[in-house]
Amino acid sequence: MIMPANIVLLAVGLADLVTTLFWLATGRVIEVNPIMAAVLDTGVLLFVLVKLATLGAYIVVMEWYRRHRSPAFAKAMGNFTLIAYLCIYAVSFYSVNHSYFLG
């Protein structure tokens, strides 16, 4: 069984990817992560692959750690990562893109 935080993190990451691609295609937003913006400059397919690979790698490592090292630490780190991802996404998105939505 996968930790609930990792399931939610995967769902949030996929939602982030889909909404980012949609809003980029409609010209409403920019990618605020400078590393991912550079990846996006090389192409959408690579952007998608890198996004999925980083999400997948994180979940695989945390699930391995939970099973083989410390379930309590993995759970705490998973919850922290999920909260941090949501906060960084919300603040970054609003800071850079609020003018696109406010007119």
Asked whether 102 and 30 are in contact (CB, 8 A), the reply is: no
Average pLDDT, the chain: 91
Using CB atoms within 10 A of its CB, is residue 10 exposed (0-12), middle (13-18) or buried (19+)? middle
Phi then psi for residue 26, to 5 deg, are -90, 0
State the Cα–Cα distance between residues 34 and 78, nearest whole angstrom: 24
pLDDT at position 89, please?
Answer: 83
Look up the pTM and report it.
Answer: 0.83
State the Cα–Cα distance between residues 30 and 53, nearest whole angstrom: 21
pLDDT above 90: residue 73: yes
